[in-house]
Amino acid sequence: MRRILVVATAALVVAAPPAQAARWQPDVAAARAYVKTRPGAVSFSVRDGARAWGLHPRRRVRTASLAKTMLLLAYLRREDVRFRPLGREQKRLLAPMIRRSDNDAATRIYDVVGNEGLQRIARRAGMRGFRVGAYWGGCQTTARDQAVLFQRVERLLPPRHRAYGMRLLRTIVPSQRWGVARVAPRGWRLYFKGGWGSGSGAVDHQAALLVKGDRRVTLAITTTDNPSHAVGVVTLRGVAARLLRGLNRR
């Protein structure tokens, strides 16, 4: 009887399922340590489904060109646009505004949607820290706002223009693919937008969505008071690399 019991127990041990691997999470400790070595002020927010991490994620900063994603959404959601095909002139504004961050195109779109359009997008996205300004680049946002916006950007784009809008965010011109674009893990599709003001380093931001299968990870990094744009770009890349570390591990 004892022998039978031992064999049965051994069978149970062999049949026990393996322990589940720990879920991925960003290396916030490494990113925080890196931020302490960098000049300027840095904030970040990372979201993976309902989970969120950050460093000063609610610190308000000037949007600069991060507002162009909101302008894109506000324009494409207009009642006279969302159900109709886009014309050539419309695409000549929207594509440069996102892909190469054209300011003149952004101003023309802003003249159409106004602060009211930006505020509507902020409310729909759940951007609690957003504040309008005297012009599109002078609005206020937070890293948390931008991570939430990119988490919901696909749903906020109207179905008729969803593929077009996402393609613009995926095809940023090579000269502006710095920061997170340099360290995004292989196998993930990257959609992102940067904002860098006049290029002085006063502001250098990025917000991004990474997609793999049904996984959606969003990341937003804001920096202010960098001694130069080049320094801000290095900070963005360094923070993103540490936060996204291990994303491809099972």
Q: Distance between CA 75 and CA 238 in Å, rounded? A: 34
- In three state form, how does the secondary structure of the chain look? CHHHHHHHHHHHHHHCCCCCCCCCCCCHHHHHHHHCCCCCEEEEEEEECCEEEEECCCCCEECHHHHHHHHHHHHHCCCCCCCCCCCHHHHHHHHHHHHCCCHHHHHHHHHHHHHHHHHHHHHHHCCCCCECCCCHHHCEECHHHHHHHHHCHHHHCCHHHHHHHHHHHHCCCHHHCCCHHHHCCCCCEEEEEEECCCCCCCEEEEEEEEEECCEEEEEEEEEECCCCHHHHHHHHHHHHHHHCCCCCCC
Q: How confident is the model at residue 249 (pLDDT cuts 50, 70, 90)?
A: confident
Residue 11 has pLDDT above 90, yes or no: no
- At residue 248, the pLDDT reads 84
Percent above pLDDT 70 for the chain: 91
218-231 burial: b if 16+ Cβ within 10 Å, else e = bbbbbbbebeebeb
70-92: per-residue pLDDT in tens?
A: 999 999 999 999 999 999 999 99
Domains of the chain by start residue, with CATH: 25-243 (3.40.710.10)
Burial class of residue 10 in the structure, from the number of CB atoms within 10 Å of its CB (0-12 exposed, 13-18 middle, 19+ buried): exposed
Q: Distance between CA 87 and CA 195 in Å, rounded? A: 27
Residues 6+ apart with CB under 8 A from 204: 179, 194, 195, 196, 197, 223, 226, 229, 232, 233, 235, 236
216-226: per-residue pLDDT in tens?
A: 999 999 999 99
Residue 15 has pLDDT above 50, yes or no: no
